[in-house]
Structure 1
Amino acid sequence: MKSRFERRKNWLLDFQDAFCDLQDLRDTTEIPEYLRGGNPFCSIRTWCKIKKMKDRFHQLRKRAQFIQTLVVNEGACSPGLSSTASHVDIATIFGRDNAKEEIIKMLFSTAYRRDGCVTVSRIVGMTGVGKTTLAQIVYNDDRVREHFDRTMWVCVNHDFDHSRILREMMVSDSQKINYTSSSQNQLYEEFLKFVGEKKRVLLVLDGVRTFNNGDWNKLLYLLKMGEIESSVLVTSQRSDVCSAMGMGVQNVYTLDPLNDSGSWALFQQSAFTQGNCPPELESFGREIVGKCKGLPLAVKAMGGLLQNNLDARKWRKISQLDVCEAEKVCRSEKPNILPMLKVSYNHLPSYLKPLFSYCSLLPKGHSFNQKELAQFWMAESLIQPQGQETMEETASEHFDDLLMRSFFHRISPHNKSQDYNYMMHDLYHELARYISSPYCCPVEDSKKHNFSAKIRHISLGCRDVEEVVFDVEEAVLEIIDKCKKVRTLLFPNYHLKKEFGQALDKMFKSLKYMRVLDLSSSTILELPKSVKELKLLRYLNLSKTEIKRLPDSICKLFYLQTLKLLECPQFSQLPQNLAKLINLRHLELDEEFWCKTTKLPPRIGSLTSLHTLYKFPIRRKVGYGIEELEGMSYLTGMLYISKLENAVNAGEAKLNKKESLRKLVLEWSSGDDALQDEAAQLRVLEDLRPHSDLKELQIFNFRGTVFPLWMTEGQLQNLVTVSLKFCTRCRVLSLGGLPHLEKINIKGMQELEELQELGSTLP
């Protein structure tokens, strides 16, 4: 007979499966009738599916009545979360000497003092990195003990409750007195007794997960009483919580994982009583430690599993496994790693949990781009914007939230012009895999895959190494056979040889619920016309392929949000009916493609959700005029408008409403056939006044003698760079004194005689 836990688990899996099917049904029925083929029997079939779905949820509701469920408030503390104390065995700490000195310097330095006479410092880092341990060795340092008259240690962990924290502060200071029944006023009086004695107080708040401003301000007010030199040391996984506590950037210490030598010393101390690894086991031991990626929690757990064990076969076996797998194989009575990491996951708001789970599809050690991950999330309908926010803005906020909670960490770019990339620690990656199973299926090259009907998201060859053994065509055919409801199919390994053979056309005709499809770096030369069958597709990546053009049938993908064709040197033409993709948000092509482009498909203005449009050449034909830009309010980054001699009523472009544009290029053609009279050109340029947030402006081949007032009177106060090339008739140039202007490029302006009021920051 199944246990109550198993029945509850199975019910939840069945409910989630039914909910996914309901989403598929909803999205399918919302496709416009003309794209569904106009079959009169479609509505009958849809009605039957809806009826079956209602019956299915009815059965789930009946089953739920017989299952005793445990309701846990969101953000509540996990039952397995233990309290911490201030004592620590210094002999078991390695590699934290520099960190200890930095924290002590923060506590003692007046440079970090905030809010009158209270210094607030904090240690931030991911779960298991050793924040509490570092706070303990600082707390017990002789210099700290001598400097402060009273030291108090409070393990917060739960909600940031002012009364509970104050009570535990008093108990920490005087454990002989029972403050359990004391009222808040009595606690205030007791605390103010030694505050009145002008004693210096150190308060450690360990494990702050949530807090509210009201309780924090009350606590801070008490510590400020009596003009004592109080200090607060906070440990938290969340850097945003610490920032919200009224602390500046300069008194944050971000605790990184241990280096190799510190990790190895800690492992030896955990695995051997004498603290020395036998030479014959050292190679296995170092491989095991390397997989811990410097996380003390994992290093100590692995050392504990092998404690005083000298069996080389066991060490070899453990060295070949991932850290969390090793705990399972060794039948650890009390696994430490995943349960501890899962506490952090349990404290996530409900809207962040599926976003983190989806990251299980990324390869371990894989650096990822924030924008691309957000596009995945949006394609899977995991982002629900609030109010006037766009999906991109909401996704960016959620990403930053996960970053501030230490689930991601930032990688510095090689040069300043590049965007930041991000990574997940390997153990957080294993946590994501554990949580997302069985719906997410990351398949590594050397492991057997076990595809099932429940799987919705698949990542093939997700180990970023060159030695990849993977038959892509065979794997895709197996997915077609076993995973009819798959929504995501990624091939994240750039070294993987992606030859689909006949599988691509079969996939398009069979996997009706696909939302995310990445075919980048594959050998495809032509996209089958059957791509139109992927009616729910929202993300399609064809980058780094030899594809030359797209079939016009792709324009039937009503839901498509992102279309990528980067590094496709042979690609030369967008489909004629591109304007039918009314939900398209990101059209990503190389600058080389746009430079060669002389015309776009007609009625591009129908794409009112589009964020990226590098170039817009104007033509004097219906559907190609500058008025097409009017409704494209979300254009972001750069916009290059060429052939301005064809512009009529340029003000209809509404550039002053496009607040996300950062770079604008305005170009008239250079040939004699492009000549306009001066008044016409000036009128066009006047009507193209951009939004005041613009950072860079370039104007080419303007033949007027003066520039419009929005340029000469300095209305674009945020401009950093201005380029004026071949504006051959201009004699006087004034930009109205732009406060942020750093660079001005002038070329081919033979009649220029005078420069006036450029920018206050120019030399």
Structure 2
Amino acid sequence: MAGALVSMVLEQLASITRKQIEEEVSLVVNVDREVENLILHFNAIQAVLQDAEERQVKDANVRNWLRNLEDVSYDINDVLDEWNTEILKHQIEKEEEKEGENVALKKRKVCSFIPSPSVIFSSIGKVIMRRDIAMRIKELNVKLIEIANLRQTYNFQNTIRGTEKLERVETSSFVNVSSIIGREEEKNRLMSMLLSESSQQGGSPFVVIPIVGMGGLGKTAFAQLVYNDENIKTHFDTRIWVCVSDPFEEIKIAKAIVEVLNNGDNRINSTSLQPLLECINKYISGKKFFLVLDDVWNPTFSNWEPLMGALQNSAIGSRILVTTRKETVATVIRATADHAIHLNILSDQDCLQLFNKIAFFNRERDDQLEDIGRKIVKKCNGLPLAAKTLASLMLYKKTRKEWLDVLDSKIWDLEEVEQEVFRSLFLSYYELSLAVRRCLLYCATFPKDYVFEKDDLIDCWMSQEYLSMKGDKEKERFIGQNCFDNLVMRSFFQDFVKDRVNDDIIGCKMHDIVHDFVQFLTKNECFIMEVAESCNEKNMVVDNKVRHLNIMSTYNDSFPISIYNCKGLRTLVISTSKLPPLPSDSFSKLKSIRTLKLNENSIKEVPESIGGLVHLRYLDLSGNEKLEELPNSVGNLFNLETLRLIKCRGLRELPVCLRKLVNLKHLYIWGCRDLKVPKEIGRLRNMQILDFLYLQDGGEDDEGIFKLGDLGNLEQLQGSLWIENLKSAKDGSEAKNAELVNKKNLLDLTLHFGHSYVSDPERADANLKDEEILNGFQVHTNLESLTIIVYHSTTLCPSWMMSCHNLRRLVFYEVPFCGVLAPLGKLPSLEYLEIRLMGNVKEVGVEFLGITGETPQTLIKSFPKLKTLRFDSIKQWEEWEGVEEEDSKITIMPSLLYLAFRNCHKLKALPNFLWKTPLRELSISHCSNLAQGFETRCGTEWAKAPQVQNIKINGQFVKEDGVVKLED
């Protein structure tokens, strides 16, 4: 981390010097010389940091030298940030002076030439603040000189990297290796135990099966392979996956089980165990379940038995699979020896196969490199994670020398490293750029099995100033994306969640061993506080050098005042839902905080003292549904870049003072339907993300409220935007004033008109204003995803839609009065199309394909890139018209892979052109007429679809992986 810190401070020094000249803001005499000295000494230190960081693992003295350097670097970073904030305040004051000049002239009295005491003391305060900054810089310079001189004691090698360039990686499918190599025997044995109906344990209807093995052996991946097996899916009534980790919290586990059993409903707010166990007992009654408890560490009989008792009402044949590193866990969970699966290390041959699959991805094999690779694999000692991590590293090494450097690295000789797999991780870690290293290490702030949301993680990195290279703030998100991609490609992340539009990775987890590794490297900086019930929090000692703190639990549900000792704390995450009201002085002693996550904490009030966090760049209050207002002091957070208020449903309005947050880039308010957003938000020219806008119905006091047309002021808007209650817009001119056509980086748009559900379209009038509003919108041709919801006009094809040449995903949901589908086949990039609840559609003709009734003169491709097509609840639909066989110039859906129909009761048959597509999977649910054609081998539609590998009727496969499951 020291190298990353030094690099960041050097960039900061260069940036702040430039700003001071531009803004003509000076501190005191001779500070320029102090800044020059800081740059001189940091440059000298930076030259040897690569060698120092590699030697610190074995040399405690070097480790202490680096810690002292980090402490001084953090302090200097704080002082420089305060200096920068002073310059920023100066800019804001100048702007406000210009705006208020006319008003001030009107109100000025005859004696106004006498300055008021507030003005005098304000000026004095600025001088004192600036003198204080200069004095602190001088003091820190003295400390830095001592550290710089001491470096000569260690004879560090000069290994300066020169101008650092962040590597841009090309994503590919290999990072998500789905196949498990070398586990066939174990899988067959486990499948046999899971699918057997006879075996029971002690009269219980279920059997507990532990998978035991050391870290890095692939226990979780092995369990996932079995969990997702189609035979398992059909054998059990319900499947449940729970990440347990350390500690074993039965309430957390019970909540996760209830959420799955209750079809994803996460509104179970009970904080006591018994109601949750009663829910489990009720939902599981008579069902055959398969429960996976992943990464179990330290259960006791007292917290294991209640969970097992709640499952006793299940059907015989149920199974519980437990993955663990500890042999003793099998005893606690009362698993018998013949039901345990012990994963051993891979053979050299299997390990090499895994290594080669990644290391030689998308390139030809090389005999010399393969020979070196074989020797590298031997050093992996049969650990799949080590082989995968090293293979991800070797993928980017092209020459024999580069491969030999890895084979001959001194890191293989380290004895201090606690885990064997750490050695391979060290090799990959030191290959990362400084920017990517510091981003990786920051992840140690969060617990094992934490699901990282990519955009949120990038916002956190940004708040710590990890992504600002050469002072270029405009490219921070691009740099953050690159850092994330690098960590994905180097196998530091896993368990990916994909985006619905373009299949990009939007979420992930860290392997347990990788998490152990980053904690090993940051054990003096990142700390996760978990207070056991028997432990008095007041007696806990938190190292005052901790920079990033995550409070997972507290003593007696009280705010942990011991953290006030952490004066240099930069990240505070409070993850416990039992936190009481925050003390009024909560933040007055934690001045250095840059990232503050207080989401899901039942907070009712935010203390005014939050306004004193001058360094704060990220504030997350999401999920605090009882929070009704933000303090006006929030307007003093001049450096704030990200404000997350997702699902703060109690919030009624945002304070007008937010207009002073000139650095605010990301405002997340999804789910806040009653929130009044002030019109002044439109002044924030740096705003890049506004994820949600609920248009308030007109009223007497709505003049100061942000409206649809005010979106036009947010010129840099990007990412995703959900606009709801569009029916309250005045007319199409408001939509036009939003100027979405100028927002080239806005990629995902949802237009929700906000009407109440109409069950009988024939008795309702079509809303012509909806059509006017929809036509009023113009979008940039870069738009990739469009969703239109509860739209009540009869026409659904605005003139601009056919210009969306990059549109990849399109969804129409609840459009009850429209009877004709638009010519969507003309959209050249469309990959996903979903049409739901269009109750007035009775017939779909060739116009849907973008084909006229005339014989085409040129080749036509209809839906050229469409892969997925879904129709749902089009209950009046009777006929889908095909095309003439002799129309050889027409190609229809040449990329179609998945087709689904649900609740289309009257649809009788499918057009023949569908059977000429490369369709691989067909799903028909609650469509009685269509289903009849596939229910037997002699059905009218069966013979037409020989190429379709998977056909599912009402949730059951009648053909799977090419194998017909129907009886003759």
Shift of 1:500: 4.9
Residue 487 of structure 1 deviates from its aligned partner by 1.0
Partner of residue 549, structure 2 = 458
CA change 1:484–1:524 in 2 (3 A) is: same
In 2, the alpha carbon distance for the partners of 1:420 and 1:575 equals 31
Question: Does the C-alpha gap of structure 1 residues 553 and 342 become closer, same or farther in structure 2, counting only changes over 3 Å?
Answer: same
Taking the aligned partners of 1:414 and 1:717, their CA distance within structure 2 comes to 15
| Counterpart among 364, 385, 389 of residue 237 in structure 1 | 389
User: Counterpart in 2 of 1:738?
Assistant: 827
The answer as to 2:137 corresponding to 1:50 is yes
Partner residue in 1 for 2:493? 408
Matched, 1:532 2:611: yes
Shift in Å at residue 19 of structure 1?
1.0
Partner Cα separation in structure 2 for residue 757 and residue 621 of structure 1: 43
- Displacement of 1:611 in angstroms is 1.3
Correspondences of 1:277-296 after superposition (within 5 Å):
none
Offset at residue 540 of structure 1 (A) = 1.8
Q: Which residue of 2 aligns with 1:438?
A: 524
- 2:582 and 2:737 map into 1 onto residues whose CA distance is 48
1:601 correspondence with 2:675: no
Select which of 720, 724, 729 maps to 1:644. Answer: 729
Higher RCO, 1 or 2 (CA under 8 Å, sep at least 6)? 1
The alignment status of 1:634 with 2:731, answered yes or no, reads no
8 Å CA contact 1:132–1:235 kept in 2: the answer is no
- Of the candidates 135, 147, 151, which is equivalent to residue 60 of structure 1? 147
In structure 2, relative to structure 1, the CA distance for the partners of 1:129 and 1:701 (3 Å cut) is closer
Map Cα deviations across residues 52-75 of structure 1 (whole Å, 9 max, x no partner). Answer: 233332333233344422456879
Q: Distance in 1 between matches of 2:420 and 2:387?
A: 20
Rounded to whole Å, the distance in 2 between the matches of 1:139 and 1:725 is 54
Q: In the alignment, does 2:433 pair up with 1:349? A: yes
| CA deviation map 1:285-328 (0-9, x unaligned) | xxxxxxxxxxxxxxxxxxxxxxxxxxxxxxxxxxxxxxx9xx99
Query: Bigger shift: 534-543 or 696-705?
Result: 696-705
Q: Which amino acid aligns with 1:15?
A: L
Looking at structure 1, the residues matched to 834 and 181 of structure 2 have their Cα atoms a distance apart, in angstroms, of: 47
| Counterpart code for 2:847 | Q
Identity %: 21
Matched, 1:664 2:744: no
Q: Which residue of 2 aligns with 1:398?
A: 483
1:483 pairs with one of 566, 571, 578: 566
Q: Is the 8 A contact 1:609 1:634 kept in 2?
A: yes
Between the aligned partners of 2:187 and 2:437, the Cα distance in structure 1 is 36
Provide the secondary structure at the position in 1 that maps to 2:587: helix
| Residue 576 (str. 1) matches residue 728 (str. 2) | no
Corresponding position: 1:377 with 2:461: yes
Unaligned runs of 5+ in 1: 76-93, 103-124, 142-152, 173-202, 210-233, 247-323, 462-467
Post-superposition CA distance 1:505-537 (Å, at most 9, x none):
222222111111222333431112221111211
Looking at structure 1, the residues matched to 483 and 392 of structure 2 have their Cα atoms a distance apart, in angstroms, of: 13
Alignment of 1:124-523 (within 5 A): 134=346, 136-137=348-349, 166=368, 204=374, 206=376, 236-237=388-389, 336=420, 338-339=422-423, 341-384=425-468, 390-410=475-495, 421-446=507-532, 449-461=540-552, 470-471=555-556, 473=558, 475=560, 477-480=561-564, 482-494=565-577, 497-500=578-581, 502=583, 505-523=584-602
Determine whether 1:611 maps to 2:695.
no
Q: In 2, distance between residues paired with 1:525 and 1:167?
A: 61
> Secondary structure of 2:78's partner?
helix
Distance 2:479 2:504 in 1: 23
Shift of 1:587: 2.6
Contact 1:74 1:350 in 2 (8 A): no
CA distance in 2, matches of 1:97, 1:522: 43
Which residue identity does 2:135 align to in structure 1? Answer: C
What are the superposed Cα offsets for residues 539-571 of structure 1, whole Å, 9 maximum, x if unpaired? 222233321111122122112222223343422
Q: Secondary structure at the match of 1:512?
A: coil
Q: Deviations over 1:415-460 (max 9, x none)?
A: 9999865332333222222211322222232477432332222122
Q: TM-score, normalised by structure 2?
A: 0.48
Task: Using the TM superposition, give the Cα deviation of residue 711 of structure 1 relative to its aligned residue in structure 2, in angstroms.
Answer: 3.1
* 3-state SS, counterpart of residue 720 of structure 1: strand
What is the Cα deviation at residue 7 of structure 1? Answer: 4.3
The 1:385–1:655 alpha-carbon spacing in structure 2 relative to 1, beyond 3 Å, is farther
Change (3 A) 1:663 1:204: same
Relative to structure 1, is the Cα distance of residues 637 and 208 closer, same or farther in structure 2, using a 3 angstrom cutoff?
A: farther
C-alpha displacement at 1:660, in angstroms? 3.1
| Cα distance in structure 2, aligned partners of 1:439 and 1:353 | 14
User: CA shift at 1:705, angstroms?
Assistant: 7.8
Provide closer, same or farther for how the CA distance between residues 426 and 612 of structure 1 changes in structure 2, counting only shifts above 3 A: same
CA distance in 1 between counterparts of 2:664 and 2:435 reads 24
Q: Is the 8 A contact 1:127 1:344 kept in 2?
A: no
Moved more, 716-725 or 375-384: 716-725
- Provide the C-alpha distance between the structure 2 equivalents of 1:522 and 1:371, rounded to a whole number of angstroms: 21
Cα distance in 2, alignment partners of residues 337 and 380 from structure 1: 29
Contact 2:540 2:562 in 1 (8 A): no
Residues 420, 689 of structure 1: CA spacing in aligned structure 2 closer, same or farther, 3 A cutoff?
closer
* 1:294 alignment counterpart: none
The separation in 1 between residues aligned to 2:806 and 2:508, in whole angstroms, is 34
Asked if the contact 1:515–1:539 (Cα under 8 Å) also holds between the matched residues in 2, the reply is: yes
CA RMSD in angstroms, aligned pairs only: 5.3
Shift of the alpha carbon at 1:365? Answer: 3.6
Q: 1:668 to 1:756 in 2, by over 3 A?
A: farther
Q: 1 CA distance for matches of 2:612 and 2:640?
A: 12
Q: Is 2:786 aligned against 1:696?
A: yes
Q: SS at 2:656's partner residue?
A: coil
Q: Deviation at 1:204?
A: 4.4
Q: How far, CA to CA, are the matches of 2:695 and 2:514 in structure 1? A: 47
Moved more, 370-379 or 642-651: 642-651
Q: Which residue type is aligned with residue 811 of structure 2?
A: T
Query: Quick one: structure 1 residues 479 and 65, their matched pair in 2 at CA, closer, same or farther if it must change by over 3 Å?
Result: same
Counterpart residue identity of residue 653, structure 2:
Q
Per the alignment, do residues 388 and 540 of structure 1 end up closer, same or farther by CA in structure 2, a change over 3 Å counting? Answer: closer
Q: Cα distance, 1:235 vs. partner? A: 5.3
Cα drift, residue 96 of structure 1: 3.5
Equivalent of residue 22 in structure 1, options 76, 80, 88: 76
C-alpha displacement of 1:601: 0.6
Q: 1:70 to 1:715 in 2, by over 3 A?
A: closer
Query: Does residue 721 of structure 1 match 2:811?
Result: yes
**Unpaired segments ≥5 residues, structure 2:** 1-55, 94-121, 163-179, 189-213, 220-342, 380-385, 399-413, 757-764, 851-861, 864-868, 870-879, 881-968
For residues 389-418 of structure 1, the C-alpha deviation after alignment (integer angstroms, 9 at most, x for no partner) is: 743343233223223222222166999999
**In 2 relative to 1, CA 553–415 (structure 1 residues): closer, same or farther, beyond 3 Å?**
same
Correspondence for 1:98 among 184, 203, 213: 184
Preserved contact between residue 784 and residue 808 of structure 2 (Cα < 8 Å): yes
**Contact (CA 8 Å) 1:126, 1:407: kept in 2 or not?**
no
Alignment length, in residue pairs? 544
Gap change, CA 1:239 and 1:369, over 3 Å in 2: farther
Instruction: Report the alpha carbon displacement of residue 609 of structure 1 after superposing the two structures with TM.
Output: 2.6
- Structure 1, residues 681-700: CA drift from partner, whole Å, max 9, x if none? 85983552343433224277
CA deviations 1:66-123 (Å, max 9, x no partner) are: 4422456879xxxxxxxxxxxxxxxxxx993539999xxxxxxxxxxxxxxxxxxxxx
Q: CA deviation at 1:381?
A: 1.4
User: Residues 678 and 705 of structure 1 are in contact (CA less than 8 Å); yes or no, is this contact kept in structure 2?
Assistant: no
After superposition, the Cα gap between the structure-2 partners of 1:706 and 1:487, relative to the gap in structure 1 and judged at 3 Å, is closer
What is the CA distance between 1:614 and its match in structure 2?
1.0
8 A Cα contact 1:651 1:687, kept in partner = yes
Query: The residue matched to 2:748 in structure 1 has which SS?
Result: strand
